[in-house]
Chain A
């Protein structure tokens, strides 16, 4: 472990970002938060909770959806695999497409077809599919 004061940490981060690579959409699993962070644009963003699984990231510039944070994903996938055996089929070697997680949650909720929540999930499914978003973690 390396302890840093704030100036050292800021300098360390700036160095880490050099040379600045071109942005690539990513979906990354973080074991410390048991969460998947999914981002398709480099914009600064603000977050809004949709439900206990999904928090949506909106671009500060365009206010379009550019990503999401999925919390408690290990437990969610275990639960869904028990509840919907077909879900387990979609998990290959610990990898799962994010669109399947969003769809499983959408099917499990009682949201109305035209509700904001449903429309938000549909948008997330669309961008996850378009970007082939996949995350790998110990889920079942």
Chain B
């Protein structure tokens, strides 16, 4: 297997693992609170997990040279879930200011982005995600600035979102300079490791304290 294949495999596995872990680890606190922010945060990682699971399946299928129809379908599904994940990240940060029924617009919007992307050489998904994560980054920075406790994880979460934004920027550049894709994958994986670390640290540390 070539290097780019190994990179792709490792990258997908890290994201699927991190997303699955975050989704299940936060299940109990959501069940206890029904908090809309936690719900949307969990949804984001559910969508990331499904998106990269689809990508992983497409990766294995590609060994058998399956028809382009299946590859396009897999791309549309991947893009849809990836867009939904981005929207959920933003919604988890701004849900208090947005009427709940507005979030249902995310589904048709994500589907439209997913389909249009196929005809735009993957520029649509990258540009839309750049916009989504730029907005999430601004909101997260505002949260950090407003927070009285500067030592908490807000700063690291902000850095994670910045890394996610940088990774999409690298993805955009990789259309011109293909080798940059390795950096894009590395930065995305790092962002997910930061999210995973934050969830583990917040939940595990308290578990020890209460024990």
Decide whether A and B assemble into one complex: no
- A-to-B contact residues, CB < 8 Å: none
